[in-house]
């Protein structure tokens, strides 16, 4: 048995029974369950419809997200989340680079790396090198004035933790950011790279080995194994090329507002909703949310 999820962006809340019923009739599906009025509904089907992606394209054009997945085991016991442009709305290294006066150069490298056009390890080394000489105090300024949490993040983490799930923030960014962001969102742990500094000034180097795509996969395997689980028991969410490994290995891998090269390789895609969509995908109803 499979479950089809139909989702509207919470700020629009314009999902109608007529739209959902039209899909149900088209696919001879079971009874509709409304998880949140005008935002999230789901219904069962015996097998993935042959024209699912045609319907997906149509709903995308209307501003709705559509997903299908096996019904069994949808609620996950582990959450692994990327940070930059996933749990926060910025790329931290780009914000640091802006302070250093090399914002455009670094942002271009970041974009290429997230699109899978550059090796992540080499791109990170190159970007960090451009930060040499920047005062460490700038990190606090960036956190205070430029970093904003992505909508729905606190609710996602709190709701899953309330059901006993373990949550980890795994980033190719830096611990000076994942620490505060992890605390603000309520994660159980965080993993990231370490920026090196001497006498209060960034050296332009990062501690090795660099945490990138492979390290995120290792984190998924280690965190689940430590709890007697497997990657199938985990939900992973991210947007960039260095997230692909964990998205493809996790039992539920969600590409959230992802780069095209990433979205093309992940079947669960959220392009319109916020992070609460990951709760609806697991079958959580709005009254189960911890806000």
Instruction: Label each residue of 171-223 as H, E or C.
Output: EEEEHHHHHHHHHHHCCCEEEEECEEEECCEEEEEECCCCCCHHHHHHHHHHH
Distance, in Å, from the CA atom of 9 to the CA atom of 1, rounded to the nearest integer, reads 26
Distance, in Å, from the CA atom of 228 to the CA atom of 176, rounded to the nearest integer, reads 30
Neighbours of 66 (CB within 10 A): 18
Contact 203, 117 (CB under 8 A): no
Beta bridge partners of residue 236, listed in sequence order? 80, 253
Give the H or E element holding residue 144. Answer: helix 137-145
Confidence of residue 161 (pLDDT cuts 50, 70, 90): very high
Mean pLDDT is lowest, of 116-120, 176-180, 194-198, 264-268, for 116-120
Paired tokens of 199: 């006498």
Average pLDDT, the chain: 96
Name residues whose C-beta falls within 8 Å of residue 229's C-beta, 6 or more positions apart in sequence: 77, 78
Mean pLDDT is lowest, of 8-22, 26-40, 114-128, 179-193, for 114-128
Name residues whose C-beta falls within 8 Å of residue 121's C-beta, 6 or more positions apart in sequence: 210, 212
Distance, in Å, from the CA atom of 157 to the CA atom of 190, rounded to the nearest integer, reads 13
Distance, in Å, from the CA atom of 220 to the CA atom of 247, rounded to the nearest integer, reads 10
How many residues appear in the chain? 291
pLDDT in tens, 210-235: 988 899 999 999 999 999 999 999 99
Provide the whole-model pTM. 0.95
Residue whose tokens read 């159980």 = 188
Percent of the residues in the chain that have a pLDDT greater than 70, as a whole number: 100
CATH for the stretch 1-72: 3.30.70.260
Structure letter (DSSP) for residue 212: -
Q: How far is CA 198 from CA 61, 115, 136, 191, in A?
A: 51, 33, 9, 22
Domain-by-domain residue ranges, the chain?
1-72
> Which residues participate in catalysis according to the annotation?
82, 84
Contact 223, 187 (CB under 8 A): no
Mean of the pLDDT values across residues 191-215?
A: 94
Contact 260, 275 (CB under 8 A): no
């Amino acid at each position: 048995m499979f479950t089809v999820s139909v989702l509207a962006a919470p700020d629009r809340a314009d999902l109608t029974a007529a739209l959902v019923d039209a899909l149900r009739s088209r696919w001879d599906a079971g009874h509709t369950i409304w998880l949140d009025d005008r935002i999230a509904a789901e219904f069962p089907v015996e097998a993935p419809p042959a024209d699912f992606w045609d319907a997906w394209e149509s709903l995308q054009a209307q501003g709705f997200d559509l997903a299908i997945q096996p019904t069994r085991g949808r609620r996950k016991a582990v959450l692994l989340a990327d940070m930059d442009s996933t749990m926060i709305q910025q790329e931290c290294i780009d914000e640091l680079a802006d302070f250093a006066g090399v914002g455009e150069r670094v942002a271009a490298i970041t974009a290429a790396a997230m699109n899978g056009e550059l090796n992540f390890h080499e791109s990170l080394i190159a970007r960090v090198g451009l930060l040499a000489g920047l005062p460490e105090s700038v990190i606090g300024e960036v956190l205070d004035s430029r970093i904003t949490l992505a909508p729905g993040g606190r609710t996602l983490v709190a709701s899953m933790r309330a059901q006993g799930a373990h949550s980890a923030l795994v980033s190719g960014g830096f611990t000076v950011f994942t620490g505060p962001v992890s605390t603000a969102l309520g994660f159980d742990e965080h993993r990231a790279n370490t920026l090196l500094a001497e006498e209060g000034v960034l050296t332009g180097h990062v501690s090795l080995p660099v945490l990138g795509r492979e390290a995120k996969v290792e984190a998924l395997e280690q965190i689940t194994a430590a709890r007697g689980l497997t990657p199938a028991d985990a939900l992973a969410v991210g947007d960039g090329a260095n997230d692909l490994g964990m998205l493809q290995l996790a039992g539920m891998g969600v590409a959230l507002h992802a780069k095209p090269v990433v979205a093309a390789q992940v079947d669960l895609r959220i392009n319109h909703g916020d992070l609460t969509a990951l709760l609806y995908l697991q079958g959580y109803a709005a009254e189960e949310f911890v806000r």
